[in-house]
Amino acid sequence: MASSENGGAFVAFDRVQKSYDGETLVVKDLNLSISKGEFLTMLGPSGSGKTTCLMMLAGFETATHGDILLDGKPINNIPPHKRGIGMVFQNYALFPHMTVAENLAFPLEVRKIGKSEREKKVKRALDMVQMGDFGGRRPAQLSGGQQQRIALSRALVFEPELVLMDEPLGALDKQLREHMQFEITNLAHQLGITTVYVTHDQTEALTMSDRVAVFDDGRIQQLDAPDTLYEQPKNSFVAQFIGENNTLHGKVEEMKGDTAMVRLDNGEVIETVPVNVKNVGDRTLISIRPERVEIDKGRLSPDAHTLKAEVMEFIYMGDIYRTRLKVAGRDDFIIKTRNAPDQRRLKPGEMIDIGWRPQDCRALDA
């Protein structure tokens, strides 16, 4: 996927590898193309390689092998300050001895931009994040959310085409974090900026991104739009890592076209979509999302498969009820049902029938 093959990608990683000790690869043969104006999130657990990829793109780390291209040109040997990339970190990295306006003017001074032009750009960047009246304050006089807004406007002040964000909302409380998620996404799309965002927060990745690259063990496990990633995980790591997921274990008993019959460990046979199982006799992990499971027979389609379940726990969560069940010998099966006037309230110890459509059930690697 060299520059001629990456479809005019704005950012491209071409067979990139990274090792810190010459032996262990923390990034393994990464090929990734990011379009101009795209909001791409690198998501994964600690140590999965996502932050290392961001740091190589920023220029703070060098690739051990392969090329990183920006607008078709290799940037491996270009120092960070000459790449023209905006950066936003979790710890804001604002200069405490400077006012907000001085913090924003600093990257413009470095780029030798004249005073009146600087003032214009600083004002515009502050207005972008609704902080126009705060230019004279120092960072210590601002709340966490305000400091993060200033860090964001400083990354945008010199009008970069690419902005990198490393866990920028990690230090904020839940409500403010959710508010800032929408603010950042809207701003990025409004300005047409290409954004590469790193997080380990799945909800953040799903709500903010055009596409999400799920990292594990130095490789991209799946790269897709958020809804595809959630509804159609390609392996058991992605299914488990993204959102809440139910798993049942079994063995493939029959393969026919685009369905597989799986015998669960308790002897029940169910119909599934085979994703990465190929042969009869393969062990498999069945994946079903909690909100795809029905407890009301009237809502089940005629082809739905039903199983007996014992209610272990029934929790009221405001907008939904979360029920933990014992199903096929496992007592960690979760279903989520909408809080509606006609919704049944279940009691621990109650036996119920549950079911789901075969197309909502995926046979993944064991």
Specify the CATH number for 244-365; select among 2.40.50.140, 3.40.50.2300, 3.40.50.360, 3.40.1380.10: 2.40.50.140
Q: Residue 6's pLDDT is what?
A: 55
Domain ranges in the chain with CATH number 3.40.50.300: 11-236
Q: Bridge partners of 68?
A: 13
Convert the pLDDT of each residue in 159-205 to its tens digit: 888 999 998 888 778 888 888 898 889 889 988 999 999 999 999 99
CATH of domain 11-236: 3.40.50.300
User: Cα dihedral sign for 35, 40, 43, 49?
Assistant: positive
Per-residue pLDDT of the chain (366 residues; tens, 9 = 90+): 333 345 579 999 999 999 999 889 999 999 999 999 999 999 999 999 999 999 999 999 999 999 999 999 999 999 988 898 988 887 767 888 999 999 999 888 888 888 888 888 898 888 888 888 898 999 889 888 888 888 888 888 888 889 999 988 887 788 888 888 988 898 899 889 999 999 999 999 999 999 999 999 999 999 999 999 999 999 999 999 998 999 999 999 999 888 999 999 999 999 999 998 888 999 999 999 999 998 876 777 777 878 899 999 999 999 999 999 999 988 999 999 989 888 888 999 999 989 998 999 999 998
Convert the pLDDT of each residue in 24-83 to its tens digit: 999 999 999 999 999 999 999 999 999 999 999 999 999 999 999 999 999 999 998 889
Domain ranges in the chain with CATH number 2.40.50.140: 244-365
pTM: 0.88
Tokens representing residue 185 in the block: 């996404």
